[in-house]
Structure 1
């Protein structure tokens, strides 16, 4: 959160039940030395999905929001590694105002088998997560703001299953 070193501030502890479900990325920035929030590594309009499931697994996928325009850093040539997408899957647990992600797979090899600590704040349907990464010997504090995704309801029956029901003549 801009203006603080701790995006969680003095917020109450978070319950694991508070996190369950899917979240959409609203903002991804880097905290500057003056306390303001600058553009993050995925540009001015990042897109992302964060999912916490009740059995202790999570997944996050993020990309540049301007990918369709062929923006710099977005993979348009299969021979060039992408810097316009990042994500990982992990197990997770809550410890007070922190969410701990134990990374199992990642687009960044340095994260594998690491426990990433995310300072967390939950208010008004928004989840703010902050964490520090060291790049080129310099710590960078990143802040991500997520909003809860609306629940989706749909029939999980495959489209052709209704035609194969007993007695349907198929």
Structure 2
């Protein structure tokens, strides 16, 4: 079975931790109990949604009538992007393409991922350090395969 075949399906986030390359203390950018889903489809598309553990509802109840503070909190507690994915079977590599993204700086990018897949456990992280909260970090995301919904 190929890496691509093993990736196809839905995965639920178990942990998301960022480890600074300067040796300082690891941190959880969305909290220790963040939730999320990442999906890989057979036709080559993926979608990742990660959410912080404590998100407050908008007081108005209307997404388009939030306050500046509500929009800031909303954006700081959510990561979302979707697009095509590419698997390099020879090197066991993975690339995510950001065709849509909550973070506009990612639009159009292809980002390499380090992937480790054993049974129903998927480990993902960037191929090189990224900037997070003012530090160069390596992100470590642990996913478990979601049960079939039927």
User: Which runs of at least 4 in structure 1 moved beyond 6 Å after TM superposition?
Assistant: 34-37
The structure 2 residue matched to 1:133, chosen from 114, 127, 130, is 130
| CA drift at 1:139 | 2.4
Q: 1:113 & 1:33 partners in 2: Cα distance? A: 27
Query: Which of 87, 93, 104 is equivalent to 1:109?
Result: 104
User: Residue 126 of structure 1 contacts residue 146 of structure 1 at CA under 8 Å; is this kept in 2?
Assistant: yes
Distance in 2 between the 1:25 and 1:133 partners?
A: 20
CA RMSD of aligned residues (A): 2.2
Shift of 1:114: 0.5
Determine the structure 2 residue equivalent to 1:49.
37
The yes-or-no answer on 1:148 pairing with 2:145 is yes
Q: Distance in 2 between matches of 1:151 and 1:49?
A: 13
For the Cα contact (< 8 Å) 1:40–1:142, is it kept in 2?
A: no
For residues 133 and 149 of structure 2, the distance between their equivalents in structure 1, rounded to whole angstroms, comes to 41
Residue of structure 1 equivalent to 2:52: 64
Residue 93 of structure 1 pairs with residue 86 of structure 2: yes
Residue pair 2:21, 2:137 contacting (<8 A) in 1 also: no
Tell me the distance in 2 between the aligned counterparts of 1:37 and 1:26.
20
2:106 is the counterpart of 1:118: no
How many correspondences in the alignment?
134
Unaligned runs of 5+ residues in structure 2 are 60-65
Is the CA contact (8 Å cut-off) linking 1:29 and 1:37 kept in structure 2?
Answer: no
TM-score, scaled relative to structure 2? 0.79
Higher helix share: 2
Label 1:145 to 1:87 Cα distance change in 2 as closer, same or farther (>3 A): same
1: CA distance, partners of 2:25 / 2:17: 6
1:17 counterpart residue number: 5
Distance in 1 between residues matched to 2:33 and 2:109, nearest whole Å: 28
